[in-house]
Structure 1
């Protein structure tokens, strides 16, 4: 006979999955992001152009990629992200008057970002923020694409400067020095082989881009039928649902979080908009919303959506005020369309593709193991480097296939088991290789 505690375990697991678990400390990055957002909007309000401040918030998303301590290398990465956001907003703004091409633009950005973000070792939140900014830009008032892009770039660069200064001041006041960890970079050939040519990245990229495209097309059709113009929310929802991976298990959990968080978030947004706050109050509220989203996003994406949703509504409706009930209904409808497309895309994988990926990667890792065992002392470090690359790729493919739909996992169960055994053999050999004197003399190359 089952006890009450045992009966309640599935419910408790569901609640834990929704609420989340404790993550790394986010107080400093969250406070930095909130301050950057508040300053950007407050400056625009002081210039009597609050609508410019709402557009500039898209550039403040740059701060979400910042680590706790921003040194010169992180500053360069953040500057590149600010430039990417600005360019995406520019192109999307130029195409905003053409609904179909705006959808194509957002889908292409989603595919490229999905392919390059992990390959370039861009930290979380990964590709989702770039795609969401592009989707939102397609819904901004037309005719101001260059201005909007410059506002986003200025806000992004301002975030970089604030992050660097904040790190420097905190280092001096606390006399705290962070030891910079430098990881050797892959050669271009290794980078191409690992991340592009012989990896599942192309398939994942196509799946995400296709999801955003289908969501945009369907949302445009619904918008035309209902007389609305907010189809960009569907594309943003599809990208957000696939923000941490396009395989089925992750997408299902992400969709649940997105829908529940959005439902709670529209209530917050309705309360803010119905009170008709003053411009400076909006600046403070946006800063607080960005702080809250950044502070809890690692713990629970559903809780983060409670802050992100009103933030997105305020940004996306710059100069397009409308009835509050219609605004909320559009948000929920378009979000449902995007999430439905993401769920369907999460099923779009064949058993043959998964079997082929596992078999090819397992064979390549076995060949690398044999080559390492037969290596001479003069080239063993090179063979260990090759083994490390192939073992890492095998682990990546195993993780992705293990998250696909049940029918795929069942069909490739034996291949997954064999891949796990090969991965264990590679791990043992790599561990033994690190203890070899002639190998330890030189640092190994690792993934960035």
Structure 2
């Protein structure tokens, strides 16, 4: 994240920083995979990230309405979920891509489509090159472990999973617009987070971790948004927060969100200035809306919901 941001600061093109930040998130994919498999999956995820960012920027330039954003985000969640599951890209699901699409679509953009495409693709390429360089170094010092390929995912499971994402994003975005906090894309993003664990027993707990971690991140954001950061200071701060989030995301999801929530809020500091408390309060409210919607969707579309309904019918019959 830091390298592309510093390049844009030196070129005095900080209006492109949001595109570069999302391109750099390509580095989170395929981290624990063998050498060439990681290269393939990072390249695929980088291409998906470039397409979603360009699509989001195009909506920002065209001035699409909030409802059009909800519909478009629902389609993106459905398609990306299908593609990511078929390609077996990890981390699974469209969470990162929905973040990129909705944030760029909702933020003002003063550049051209070509500049946005160049910023996101250059940043994604930097992440891929750094990732492959690290794996080449590791391969010289660690034994090569051949891991068997997992069988292809079942079509029914892939379709059901993508349907959950689409339903959660559509419901969360619509509810947030009707309640009117002001940043509906955060509700859609929060709805995606627990869906990746929808088939696991701990999905509601993950939603709770997401909410609590975001609350902690909102408080941290309120403090970090007070100083008037220079572009270089803001770039270093964002990179440090992203590093902390990635360190903890597989170990303690709530603590990871404490680091990652300020990234989402602070990145807008390059392109616009917004009231601090209004921004942080909206983030907390919409995160709660999205996460609770996800829990309801998971309950209604998985075996736990069906089992619960069957038990209720049997109890009423008795």
Q: Is TM more than 0.5 here?
A: yes
> Which of 257, 272, 286 does residue 334 from structure 1 map onto?
286
Contact 1:89–1:134 (8 Å) recurs in 2: yes
**SS in structure 2 of the partner of residue 299 of structure 1:** coil
| Residue 71, structure 1, aligned to residue 35, structure 2 | yes
Q: CA deviation at 1:209?
A: 0.2
Contact 2:2–2:235 (8 Å) recurs in 1: yes
Aligned to 1:430: none
Contact 2:14–2:270 (8 Å) recurs in 1: no
Contact 1:39–1:283 (8 Å) recurs in 2: no
Contact 1:237–1:338 (8 Å) recurs in 2: yes
Aligned to 2:99: 132
1:26-45 correspondence runs (5 A): 37-45=1-9
Contact 2:187–2:286 (8 Å) recurs in 1: yes
| Residue 232, structure 1, aligned to residue 185, structure 2 | yes
Which of the pair has more CA radius of gyration? 1
Tell me the number of residue pairs that the alignment of Structure 1 and Structure 2 aligns: 310
Aligned to 1:440: none
| Residue 113, structure 1, aligned to residue 72, structure 2 | no
Aligned to 1:255: 207
Whole-Å separation in 2 of the counterparts to 1:161 and 1:412 = 57
| Residue 178, structure 1, aligned to residue 144, structure 2 | yes
> Which of 301, 308, 314 does residue 407 from structure 1 map onto?
308
Whole-Å separation in 2 of the counterparts to 1:217 and 1:145 = 30
Q: CA deviation at 1:331?
A: 0.8
Whole-Å separation in 1 of the counterparts to 2:239 and 2:30 = 17
Distance 1:205 1:154, change over 3 A: same
Whole-Å separation in 1 of the counterparts to 2:51 and 2:269 = 21
Contact 2:50–2:117 (8 Å) recurs in 1: yes
| Residue 282, structure 1, aligned to residue 234, structure 2 | yes
Distance 1:248 1:71, change over 3 A: closer
Distance 1:411 1:347, change over 3 A: same
- Pairwise CA RMSD of aligned residues? 2.6
| Residue 59, structure 1, aligned to residue 27, structure 2 | no
Q: CA deviation at 1:324?
A: 0.7
Contact 2:85–2:92 (8 Å) recurs in 1: no
| Residue 153, structure 1, aligned to residue 106, structure 2 | no
Distance 1:247 1:176, change over 3 A: closer
Whole-Å separation in 2 of the counterparts to 1:68 and 1:114 = 21
Compute the TM-score of the two structures, normalised by the length of structure 1.
Answer: 0.63
Structure 2, unpaired ranges of 5+: none
Whole-Å separation in 1 of the counterparts to 2:204 and 2:306 = 10
> Which of 86, 104, 121 does residue 50 from structure 2 map onto?
86
Q: CA deviation at 1:106?
A: 1.0
Whole-Å separation in 2 of the counterparts to 1:95 and 1:140 = 10
| Residue 222, structure 1, aligned to residue 186, structure 2 | no
Contact 1:115–1:205 (8 Å) recurs in 2: yes
Structure 1, unpaired ranges of 5+: 1-36, 350-399, 414-448
Whole-Å separation in 2 of the counterparts to 1:300 and 1:289 = 15
Aligned to 2:300: 348
Whole-Å separation in 2 of the counterparts to 1:139 and 1:249 = 34
> Which of 248, 252, 259 does residue 307 from structure 1 map onto?
259
Aligned to 1:46: 10
Distance 1:200 1:213, change over 3 A: same
Whole-Å separation in 2 of the counterparts to 1:405 and 1:67 = 36
> Which of 99, 110, 131 does residue 163 from structure 1 map onto?
131
1:337-416 correspondence runs (5 A): 337-349=289-301, 401=303, 403-404=304-305, 407-408=308-309, 410=311
Larger mean CA deviation between 143-152 and 199-208 belongs to 143-152
Whole-Å separation in 2 of the counterparts to 1:92 and 1:142 = 10
Give deviations 1:319-345, integer Å, cap 9, x for gaps.
Answer: 221111111111112212212321221
Q: CA deviation at 1:203?
A: 2.6
